[in-house]
Structure 1
Amino acid sequence: MLLGGTLLANDDQSVVLNARQIGDALDVLGNPLTEKEKGDLDVAKTTEEVSAILDPKSIVEVVINPESRVKVRSLSVVPSLVEKGWTSHLIKIINEAGVTAPLQVSSAQALPLANAAKESLADRWLKLDIFRGRPLANTLSGVSIEYRILQIYSRDSGKRSAKLKFDVGQGTQDLGFRSEILINFDCLSSADLSFEVLDENNKPTIAAFEIRDMLGRVYPDQAKRIAPDMHFHPQIYRGSGETVRLPKGEYRIGYSRGPEYMAGEKQFTYDGKGGELTFKLERWIDPSKNGWWSGDHHIHAAGCAHYTKPTEGVHADDMIRHCIGEDLKIGSNLTWGPCFDYQKQFFTGKNDKVSKYPYLLRYDVEVSGFGSHQSGHLCLLRLKDQMYPGGESKHHWPTLGLNTLRWAKAQGALVGPAHSGWGLRCESEELPNYEIPPFDSIGANEYIVDVTHNVPGPDGKLVPAVDFLSTVDTPIVWELNIWYHTLNVGYRTRISGETDFPCIYGERVGLGRSYVKIDGKLNYESWCEGIRAGRNYTGDGRSHLMDFTVSGLEVGTRGSEISLNEGGAVRVSVKAAAFLPKEVNQSFKGLSYTAKPYWHVERARIGGGRKVKVELLVNGYPKDEVEMDADGKINDIKFNVNIERSSWVAVRILGSSHSNPVWILVDDEPVRASKRSALWCLESVKKCWAQKERFISKNELKDARLAYDHARAEYKKRIEECILE
């Protein structure tokens, strides 16, 4: 057989078999051959017969010469594409070298939009994918002639051009740019599909939508997204009256609105001519009705998964859309190292103008990528001034975290370490445990020192240097172990939930949350004050611990402290709820607590049923428990426990939610619950200094030595004050 002047082996049987596989693959992709074409393929016996059927459907012919050089020529005059959709086209391959490597295609027009210069966005309009799924092989067969399927996604409508480049490995492109070809396309228009999105009260709102076709492809294509649609998300966020442009086809749309809502799915056939879909959202719980307001104190508009081009991160109107779409009432949008000098312009010291009550967004700061970050990142909330004195950027900040905390607390900020568990790893699954962590990362490392210090507040009176520890976004044992130990020696740090979006978790904002009890109207200042006072619980939002009280005292009120003249019984109550699907999520079976997701109600499931355990803790150890149906109903849980000496008490659904403590002082004695905890803290200061000394600047070393010496002295004192081991 002679093709293009080259004598090829007689591969008729292999060529015919490949052609029939191509027909089967086109069926899978939803772009089938006509019945006549299928019939002709069924009876085809020669390469010439196959070529007569498939060549008219091929847009290019790729020739691999005996030296494995690749050149390409056009076979179709103006191929048709569809706006915001995929179309399948054939590539004819003449393989004179018998190459069995994968065929690759690339194009400057197919580069992603994320991190692209603004002036290049218009040119990056398509996406290319050579189909390698069944029944086709991943690589070329080596047969003299075969066909492959090129799938093309078009962002745009109208006339468009793209330069496609083909190769079968490094150095196989033909000389003189003959492996490249400019193709003109006619991109047919799609139509907007409108959404009506209604909450449980039939009011318009925003929700998350994950749109896929029957092949599982995501729409709009992620590589062709810029804000407010994130390129690293499968979902988009849309509100009532807003649209998404889709081509004709059959789709599944998954929809959700954060952990307090039931997720749903619609399957529908779209005619590509426009229309409207209605989504009625269903809640399983609304803590805000009882005065408990959700918030995430650690989200970012720049850095990590965000792009740095065409803009340096995204903007407030993008972030508030995501907060509303996840029903997250408070979003603390923290400016940090990446894009710091660009993002700092949005700080105002008050709610951003995009806030739409009760959804409030505010810019604050995370010390990360600068300053004292190597001793542990710090969340600085409720700032009045975002810039440490002495400069206008991030390069002059203190390298000792305590000095940063002094400055922040003097202006009334709410402060605490970010992603607490990093650097505090341990092998044990027990809480508490007595392994000394390495203190070698960016979590609550220097916290072991800072927690022993009081610093001047706005009025000059001494206040704790640290208000809270961040939880939910690192392994639960690593987070809670250091907290339990410092509580056991009498310190009163609270906890708050965070996501560190889109760094630790890029899936969505609000995967880690705090629910704060507020009397009256929600505002950012009172929400932060609730965390400082410990009038909150933290978790994944799939379980809840509302109205935790001890002997009638509600957590976070009157200092969370009650006094007893002598030991005796106390009454504990909490309104608890959780929601688990009836079917067990098998991905959690045997999942280590060090694997994501670190907090999830599925971790709390008891066996194969639909129950979770609400535990009463005294000084970090469970003293009682109640098994509760995780059916979404609120349960009034009650405990009675004997308290013989000063202690702290809390409740938890381990793996999903945790309250802050109430302190019970017996005979006015401070909490000194465990000498072992005090010894653990002292050894941890030693370990932390060994790791962090090298990161502290020379002009702050004296301050650092004094700070660490103070911590050692405090823990030694408390070792002596502890009665119990």
Structure 2
Amino acid sequence: MKPLLCLLACVSLVPAAGVEPQPFLSATQRLIDATSFLGTPFSDDEIITLRTAISQNDAAAVEKAQAVLDAHALFHVTITPEQRVKVERGAAKPVLDEAGWRQYLVRVDNEAGVTARLAVSSPQAKEMYVKGSPPVAPHAKPKDPGEPAISARWLDLQMFEQPPMQPTLSGLNLEYRIIQLYSRDAGKRDATFSFDTGQGTQDLGFRNETSVLFDCQPAREVKLAITDENGKPCIAELLIKDKAGRVYPSQIKRHAPDFFFHPQIYRGDGESLKLPDGEYDVVFRRGPESLPETRKVVISGQNTSSSFQVKRWIDPSKLGWWSGDHHIHAAGCAHYSVPSQGVHAPDMARHCMGEDLKIGANLTWGPCFDYQKQFFTGTEDKESRYPFLLRYDVEVSGFGSHKSGHLCLLKLKEQMYPGGDSTAHWPTLCLNTLKWAKKQGALTGPAHSGWGLQPLAENDPARGQQYKLGMQSATDELPNYIIPPFNGIGACEYIVDVTHMVEGPDGKPVPAVDFLSMVDTPHTWELNIWYHTLNAGFRTRISGETDFPCIYGERVGLGRAYVKLDDKLTYDAWCEGIRAGRAYVSDGKSHLIDFKANDVELGVNGSELKLAKPATVKVTVKAAALLDAQPHPEIKNAPAGQKPFWDLERARIGTSREVPVELLVNGVSVQKQTIAADGEMRDLTFDVPIEKSCWLALRIRASSHTNPIFVLVNDKPIREKQSLEWCLQSVDQCWSQKEKLIDAKEHEDAVAAYEHARKVYRERLAE
């Protein structure tokens, strides 16, 4: 990979004296992280040099790192002992892109130890439109002659002060900041820059100013032809990088539907983008069911066009299995922060289509709730384009009962809990929220189930304290009998709610909880509580989610549920398929299709197989998986609490391209068959002796998992003593963490709810 920026080899800066290695090199690591995040990484050789210097951590290391960083500095700022700010040109060659952003470094020699903000301004970078024009994105241009005329100010600029960078100077005598520059135009353009650390700090005699003549490279229009595997127009993902590894279009000033926290963009057939002259690596894909295509694209002096067609390795929808992600957000977390109110339905619909995700549940939650709530209609959004269906629903998160566990409420008729028009009046007991949702026929389940359910050793100081991401589990065994801390925002109160029947829309009792969310938290933490409650005789199903863009911001649909439907796909029908358990969850890289036990099909007639006496049951499934030929040990060997939590790589056998398909009886793996993860679908058969009532399921660990089929021998219920004891102890542990979070007016309800759970578990233990 070539360097980040073209350089002037003849310009060099004197190494700074007296630089303390440790803080300087720590700041250098932040520069590496920041430039990578901004899509403008250092070259591979430069990163090796910088990381070697960081490891070396001495005066010689500082000089090595400084040599690399100085080569990327467009400006050299000196703050004198009197806090006067002066600036000179740095070594980097001044090149910009038409309609694009570039990042450069600013070297700061801070002789005064100032800790204020370093500000930059330019008369060429003030308002880019004449006075009276409407506010627009800096890269926007008038679409017709009636719009405001563009002024002579062609530049936009800003200092990058977001994490991992600091908003102010550190006070060290040498550090580097990042400046971001945008050019509206192509050609030669001159700009004057001035720096200061507050009014009155500018040096005298124009020494705080310097002029730069930029070569603004012209951008060419690239017209796109994008089609699916059948040759029909579609939306898909493009990841575009130049030879230096810079991402195009620049991430920093992206506007919806492109997200600034994504390197990729989503474009449709007939759309276009602009790229400066150069050579680009383009990766084209459409979700995990497609085969990525990488190609070289050369832009040279004229507008051009590019055609892309999706290639698949599998299409579950052809067999009636429809993908969906029941947990997506249009605001908060990695999205735009206040005062922006997030993004709108067309943007989220585009991302779903670009990832070939058929169902997208766009959940309004705490951030921007009062703005986003206007889009709820109680039906599929008008931006839906069959078979891509988007609908607004609610996650109870950031308000109400969220401290006892976040809740996904799908298929709501009304989104607002009675008694108010915002978030302040919602119940603090999950069960009270569930009662309201179930009365209107909603599909309900805890979000990001594993949070707070990590198995910790009894003497672990983290027990009873706030969960810390990435914590090592005491065990990855499934099922295990360690009582988790129940101190998070996952399926904690579920241990109580699963025992409750509540009033449904027709007045008849229905389970308070329909499903547990899978795929976006560590799989052993999610699955363990589910296995135990299934072993206690409950029939909660599972569904797949991403919690985009909070737990995972990379793309929607990283966690999916595939639902089998006999009739036309609708959002409501898909939700009812989750309720019936006619689904499997997956990271999209493996699939377990058409699971049957004897003649009983998953999700049909209660998924129940009845046997008059012990017998051997024939289990069948169509299994397929696709692994990279090259192993990724950084994923395979990562602890359960480290991302990616679910990934087919974790199931890889050694360095082969094989993975095991496991048959579970009451959560215990009793048989397994190995398949090649080469994308081919294979018919598998298991013959399993059944001695007592149990549930059966199939999994490819940390990649895909079916819902259960329940086998009842002589009409006896499913009861596992150890699991019931685990559940009973867990109720008490959960109460120790959640009692203090319940509002006083609901305390009596909470005491009753928890005591009901204890009673149910004790009764089942006595059976």
TM-score by length of 2: 0.78
Say whether residues 1:541 and 2:588 are aligned partners: yes
Which residue of structure 1 aligns with residue 185 of structure 2?
157
Contact 1:388 1:397 (C-alpha < 8 Å) held by counterparts: yes
- Separation (CA, whole Å) in 2 of partners of 1:467 and 1:170: 58
Which residue of structure 2 aligns with residue 552 of structure 1?
599
Change (3 A) 1:149 1:266: farther
Deviation (angstroms), 1:215? 1.0
Q: After alignment, is 79-88 or 496-505 more displaced?
A: 79-88
Percent identical residues: 55
- 1:83 aligned to 89, 94, 98, which one? 98
Q: Deviations over 1:501-557 (max 9, x none)?
A: 000000000000000000021001110000000000001010000000001111000
The amino acid across from 1:125 in the alignment is: D
The amino acid across from 2:759 in the alignment is: A
The amino acid across from 2:556 in the alignment is: V
Say whether residues 1:421 and 2:450 are aligned partners: yes
Say whether residues 1:461 and 2:508 are aligned partners: yes
Which residue of structure 1 aligns with residue 715 of structure 2?
668
Say whether residues 1:501 and 2:532 are aligned partners: no
Computing the radius of gyration over CA atoms, which structure comes out larger, 1 or 2? 1
Which residue of structure 2 aligns with residue 125 of structure 1?
156
Which residue of structure 2 aligns with residue 107 of structure 1?
120
The amino acid across from 1:681 in the alignment is: C
Change (3 A) 1:457 1:171: same
Deviation (angstroms), 1:193? 1.2
Change (3 A) 1:80 1:209: closer
**Count of equivalent residues:** 649
Say whether residues 1:565 and 2:612 are aligned partners: yes
The amino acid across from 2:699 in the alignment is: R
Which residue of structure 1 aligns with residue 365 of structure 2?
336
- Separation (CA, whole Å) in 2 of partners of 1:91 and 1:527: 53
- Separation (CA, whole Å) in 1 of partners of 2:211 and 2:746: 63
- Separation (CA, whole Å) in 2 of partners of 1:527 and 1:251: 40
Contact 1:303 1:313 (C-alpha < 8 Å) held by counterparts: yes
Contact 1:614 1:653 (C-alpha < 8 Å) held by counterparts: yes
Contact 1:82 1:153 (C-alpha < 8 Å) held by counterparts: no
Deviation (angstroms), 1:247? 1.0
Which residue of structure 1 aligns with residue 571 of structure 2?
524
Say whether residues 1:689 and 2:735 are aligned partners: yes
- Separation (CA, whole Å) in 1 of partners of 2:331 and 2:177: 38
Which residue of structure 1 aligns with residue 749 of structure 2?
703
Q: How do residues 116-195 of structure 1 correspond to structure 2 at under 5 angstroms?
A: 119=135, 121-122=137-138, 125-126=156-157, 153-157=181-185, 164-166=193-195, 173-174=201-202, 180-181=208-209, 189-195=218-224
Change (3 A) 1:276 1:126: farther
Change (3 A) 1:462 1:98: closer
Q: How do residues 49-448 of structure 1 correspond to structure 2 at under 5 angstroms?
A: 69-72=84-87, 81-85=96-100, 106-107=119-120, 119=135, 121-122=137-138, 125-126=156-157, 153-157=181-185, 164-166=193-195, 173-174=201-202, 180-181=208-209, 189-309=218-338, 311-426=340-455, 427-448=474-495
Say whether residues 1:659 and 2:659 are aligned partners: no
- Separation (CA, whole Å) in 2 of partners of 1:225 and 1:272: 25
Change (3 A) 1:655 1:193: same
Which residue of structure 2 aligns with residue 5 of structure 1?
none
Contact 1:545 1:577 (C-alpha < 8 Å) held by counterparts: yes
User: Which secondary structure does the structure 1 equivalent of 2:12 belong to?
Assistant: helix
- Separation (CA, whole Å) in 2 of partners of 1:107 and 1:563: 75
Q: Deviations over 1:661-691 (max 9, x none)?
A: 000001111111x211001000000011111
- Separation (CA, whole Å) in 1 of partners of 2:442 and 2:515: 12
Change (3 A) 1:423 1:62: closer
- 2:677 aligned to 620, 623, 630, which one? 630
User: Which secondary structure does the structure 1 equivalent of 2:698 belong to?
Assistant: strand
5+ long unaligned stretches in structure 1: 1-14, 22-27, 30-57, 112-117, 131-138
- Separation (CA, whole Å) in 1 of partners of 2:331 and 2:597: 42
Q: Deviations over 1:132-153 (max 9, x none)?
A: xxxxxxx9xx99xxxx999864
Deviation (angstroms), 1:59? 8.5
- Separation (CA, whole Å) in 1 of partners of 2:597 and 2:105: 71
TM-score by length of 1: 0.83
- Separation (CA, whole Å) in 1 of partners of 2:567 and 2:656: 39
Deviation (angstroms), 1:101? 12
Deviation (angstroms), 1:255? 1.7
Q: How do residues 579-594 of structure 1 correspond to structure 2 at under 5 angstroms?
A: 579-594=626-641
User: Which secondary structure does the structure 1 equivalent of 2:221 belong to?
Assistant: strand
Q: Deviations over 1:106-151 (max 9, x none)?
A: 536899xxxxxx9485398346799xxxxxxxx9xx99xxxx9998
Contact 1:166 1:179 (C-alpha < 8 Å) held by counterparts: no
Change (3 A) 1:64 1:339: closer
Deviation (angstroms), 1:162? 7.1
Contact 2:401 2:429 (C-alpha < 8 Å) held by counterparts: yes
Change (3 A) 1:497 1:583: same
Change (3 A) 1:65 1:424: closer
Change (3 A) 1:66 1:618: closer
- Separation (CA, whole Å) in 2 of partners of 1:656 and 1:92: 46
The amino acid across from 1:107 in the alignment is: V
Change (3 A) 1:398 1:66: closer
Change (3 A) 1:551 1:275: same
- Separation (CA, whole Å) in 1 of partners of 2:294 and 2:480: 43
Deviation (angstroms), 1:638? 0.4
Contact 1:376 1:445 (C-alpha < 8 Å) held by counterparts: yes
Deviation (angstroms), 1:311? 3.1
- Separation (CA, whole Å) in 2 of partners of 1:433 and 1:590: 20
Contact 1:72 1:178 (C-alpha < 8 Å) held by counterparts: no
Contact 1:534 1:660 (C-alpha < 8 Å) held by counterparts: yes
Deviation (angstroms), 1:586? 3.1
5+ long unaligned stretches in structure 2: 1-8, 16-41, 44-72, 127-133, 140-154, 162-169, 456-473
Say whether residues 1:604 and 2:604 are aligned partners: no
Which residue of structure 2 aligns with residue 54 of structure 1?
none
Contact 2:585 2:705 (C-alpha < 8 Å) held by counterparts: yes
User: Which secondary structure does the structure 1 equivalent of 2:659 belong to?
Assistant: strand
Contact 1:81 1:152 (C-alpha < 8 Å) held by counterparts: no
The two structures, once aligned, show a CA RMSD in angstroms of 3.6
Contact 1:107 1:163 (C-alpha < 8 Å) held by counterparts: no
User: Which secondary structure does the structure 1 equivalent of 2:307 belong to?
Assistant: strand
The amino acid across from 2:315 in the alignment is: D
Deviation (angstroms), 1:18? 3.0
Deviation (angstroms), 1:659? 0.2
- Separation (CA, whole Å) in 1 of partners of 2:651 and 2:562: 19
Deviation (angstroms), 1:81? 3.9
Q: Deviations over 1:250-272 (max 9, x none)?
A: 21111211110011211122115
Q: Deviations over 1:294-353 (max 9, x none)?
A: 000000001111113563000000000000000000000000000000000000000000
The amino acid across from 1:556 in the alignment is: G
- Separation (CA, whole Å) in 2 of partners of 1:709 and 1:177: 79
